[in-house]
């Protein structure tokens, strides 16, 4: 019988402890809502909980309760929200969670922390299997640290069973010398831990109801308390401040990058590439240095991204090229080229073989197949037809001070440099626009749009009005035939 089958034989609940304030983060945001590779810490933990396919997931909240609950409800709608009361401590947090679970539930309870994002479901499955194989009432996850300073030490008996977890400030010299530490993750039989919690008080220096006290209570009652030692201690790293957040971010990003490399993505400089967990990359994508791929970005095969590019919630088609570009909520189709120094705002869509060139901003606009906006332009609230070329320095004047208006440009239109489209306006298929045109009225198909004004030259103006300047000297020499 396989591991997953064994797990499905008995009921399982997961309790996520997320009530803490996290004062060491020195932030107005709840600790568990700080992001790691594009997902709040508690999102990583909830994903791990869901992967176990438990009957119940309960999340204990208190600090910034509404903000945390809002995210949890959106990320994991089936999760049960549980409010911790005025009694502090992890023991009390588990107690209120157990009280909130259905009374008919008699299975095992996994307890994990909302600020330990790298603990994975495979590790937890192994711990649950050991817990059940040994018929333990409680099983701790532990690890061994070269420097265990600050952690609770795990004290075992001669048979390897756990006697207690002793906090460092309460440890004897011999206990303080132990290097096996408590990771703060557990598996309990519900009935056993409920009974033990009832006898745990708050008579300690912190005035808290400690979950670790349950371990000693169960052991003293003669129950078997097991511990599973995890060799990779980084899996169990909790985040208490932003330095630790940065450390874990670096480790997770390195894992994500390496995973994509093994999946066939070329990443030229892994150290300068940052990829969120929600990103999807096809084989044969090439990522150049200085690239950030965020949110739900999707990139198809043979596309090249970078250098120095940030894509957020953006899709990039097969064989496209995106160079030194910032894009948010944009679509870039197969064979298109974007950049350098382009800005694609939400709603920007570049069609197949389209081009968005240097210093071009596109917002809420569609460029159809082969359409080009090569240089120094702003295109907002517009639709540009197939094969159309927009000359340098174009502007869609889409805002009248109150409302935004649409510009519609047909297929195979050619416009000259420094054209201003004063929306709402429509340019017909095959039309041309002269350089410097200010187009205020719709242009019929095949027409040439011009803003005609007579050029006037005022002879001698520079010499008369800018005497003594290099320009005046040059003009004087030219007008008198001197070199």
What residues are annotated to the active site? 375
Residue 321 in tokens: 């090229």
> Which residues, 6+ apart, have CB-to-CB distance to 438 below 8 Å?
419, 420, 422, 451
Cα–Cα dist 290/370, whole Å: 28
Residue 20 in tokens: 């803490």
Burial of 1 (0-12, 13-18, 19+ CB in 10 A): exposed
Cα–Cα dist 193/215, whole Å: 9
Residue 281 C-alpha from the chain's centroid = 15
Instruction: Name beta bridge partners: 292.
Output: 274, 310
Best CA proximity match to 266, nearest among 238, 227, 299, 217: 299
What Rg, from alpha-carbon coordinates, does the chain have?
32
Tokens 């948010």: give the residue. Answer: 328
Cα–Cα dist 166/180, whole Å: 11
Tokens 């060491």: give the residue. Answer: 24
> Which residues, 6+ apart, have CB-to-CB distance to 67 below 8 Å?
29, 30, 33
């Amino acid at each position: 019988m396989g591991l997953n089958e064994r797990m499905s034989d008995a009921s399982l609940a997961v309790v996520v402890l997320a009530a803490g304030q996290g004062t060491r983060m020195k932030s107005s945001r709840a600790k568990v809502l700080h992001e790691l590779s594009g997902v709040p810490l508690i999102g990583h933990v909830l994903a791990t909980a869901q992967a176990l396919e438990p009957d119940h997931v309960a999340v204990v909240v208190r600090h910034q309760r509404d903000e945390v609950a809002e995210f949890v409800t959106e990320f994991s709608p089936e999760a049960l929200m549980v409010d911790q009361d005025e009694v502090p401590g992890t023991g009390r947090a588990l107690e209120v969670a157990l009280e909130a679970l259905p009374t008919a539930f008699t299975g095992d309870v996994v307890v994990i922390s909302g600020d330990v994002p790298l603990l994975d479901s495979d590790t937890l499955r192994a711990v649950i299997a050991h817990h059940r194989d040994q018929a333990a009432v409680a099983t701790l996850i532990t690890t061994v640290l070269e420097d265990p300073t600050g952690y609770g030490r795990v004290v075992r008996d001669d048979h390897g069973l756990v006697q207690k977890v002793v906090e460092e400030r309460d440890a004897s010299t011999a206990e303080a010398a132990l290097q096996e530490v408590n990771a703060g993750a557990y598996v309990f039989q519900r009935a056993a831990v409920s009974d033990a919690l009832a006898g745990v008080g708050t008579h300690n220096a912190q005035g808290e109801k400690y979950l670790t006290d349950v371990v000693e209570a169960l052991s003293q009652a003669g129950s078997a308390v097991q511990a599973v030692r995890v060799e990779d201690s980084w899996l169990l790293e909790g985040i208490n401040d932003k330095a630790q957040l940065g450390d874990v971010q670096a480790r997770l990003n390195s894992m994500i990058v390496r995973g994509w490399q093994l999946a066939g993505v070329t990443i030229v400089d892994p150290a300068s590439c940052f990829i969120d967990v929600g990103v999807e990359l096809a084989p044969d994508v090439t990522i150049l240095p200085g690239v950030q791929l965020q949110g739900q970005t999707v990139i198809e095969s043979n596309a090249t991204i970078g250098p120095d590019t940030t894509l957020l919630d953006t899709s990039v088609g097969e064989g496209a090229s995106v160079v030194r570009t910032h894009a948010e909520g944009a679509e870039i189709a197969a064979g298109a080229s974007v950049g350098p120094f382009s800005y694609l705002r939400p709603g920007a869509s570049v069609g197949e073989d389209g081009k968005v060139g240097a210093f071009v901003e596109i917002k809420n606009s569609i460029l159809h197949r082969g359409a080009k906006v090569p240089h120094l332009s702003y295109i907002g609230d517009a639709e540009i037809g197939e094969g159309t070329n927009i000359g340098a320095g174009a502007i869609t004047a889409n805002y009248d001070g109150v409302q935004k208006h649409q510009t519609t440009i047909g297929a195979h239109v050619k416009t000259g440099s420094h054209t201003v489209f004063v929306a709402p306006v429509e340019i017909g298929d095959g039309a041309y626009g002269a350089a410097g045109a200010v187009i205020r009225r719709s242009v019929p198909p095949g027409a040439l749009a011009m803003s005609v004004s007579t050029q006037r030259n005022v002879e001698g103006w520079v010499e008369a009005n800018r005497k003594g300047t290099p320009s005046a000297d040059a003009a004087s020499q030219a007008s008198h035939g001197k070199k």
